[in-house]
């Protein structure tokens, strides 16, 4: 009887270990998401969207003291590519809107809205020992765009992004239900 119980327990353990849900690499809770969109001759690919906290005593609303505060924000990194045959067009930028549903995400009342942007031309290169995925096939030029939006306190797991950018003209790329972890 003791051997039968051990055999049943061993079989149950082996069966549960063999199920796909037992493997962290096959976790079905990881959201499926399409991070690339094309409009005109411009392709935008989201690379990172994450919550961030900066520590500062500046960019606070009038009347705030000068103590250092933990300021919430959102970081968005994306690649923008020109799919036209020649790389003669300038990159046009129009900013990013972060929405929850149809409503813009409000800025914390103690923080002056704003942030930082950085755009750098992108080619295949090593950065900090890692290969950066540069221009994709069919692109004549590419840029890596970093956006930091100050004062956004994101308490939801998904947001909508509207990114205004383009090579041929300014396009509005709408990414719905972007997962935040």
CATH of the domain at 153: 2.60.40
In a domain, 149, yes or no: yes
In a domain, 157, yes or no: yes
In a domain, 61, yes or no: yes
Digitized pLDDT (tens) for each residue of the chain, 181 residues in all: 444 444 444 444 444 444 444 444 555 666 788 999 999 989 999 999 999 999 998 888 888 888 889 999 999 999 999 888 877 668 889 999 999 999 999 999 999 999 999 998 876 554 555 555 555 666 778 889 999 999 998 899 999 999 999 987 899 999 999 998 7
pLDDT of residue 5: 44
In a domain, 3, yes or no: no
Longest dimension (CA), the chain: 80
How many domains does the chain contain in total? Answer: 1
In a domain, 38, yes or no: yes
pLDDT of residue 19: 44
In a domain, 71, yes or no: yes
In a domain, 16, yes or no: no
Which residue range(s) make up the domain with 95?
31-179
The whole-model pTM stands at 0.75
In a domain, 26, yes or no: no
Contacts 24+ apart (CB under 8 A), 6-15: none
């Amino acid at each position: 009887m003791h051997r039968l119980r051990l055999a049943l327990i061993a079989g149950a353990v082996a069966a549960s270990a063999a199920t796909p849900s037992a493997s962290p690499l096959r976790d079905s809770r990881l959201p499926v998401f399409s991070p690339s969109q094309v409009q005109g001759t411009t392709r935008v690919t989201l690379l990172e969207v994450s919550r961030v906290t900066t520590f500062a005593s500046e960019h606070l609303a009038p009347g705030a003291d000068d103590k250092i505060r933990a300021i919430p924000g959102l970081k968005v990194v994306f690649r923008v590519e020109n799919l036209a045959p020649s790389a003669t067009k300038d990159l046009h930028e129009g900013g990013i809107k972060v929405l929850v549903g149809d409503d813009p995400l409000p800025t914390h009342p103690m923080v002056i809205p704003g942030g930082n942007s950085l755009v750098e031309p992108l080619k295949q290169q090593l950065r900090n020992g890692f290969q950066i995925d540069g221009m994709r096939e069919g692109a004549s030029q590419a840029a890596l765009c970093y956006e930091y939006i100050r004062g956004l306190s994101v308490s939801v797991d998904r947001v909508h992004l509207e990114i205004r950018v383009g090579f041929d003209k300014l396009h509005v790329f709408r990414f719905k239900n972007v997962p935040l972890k």
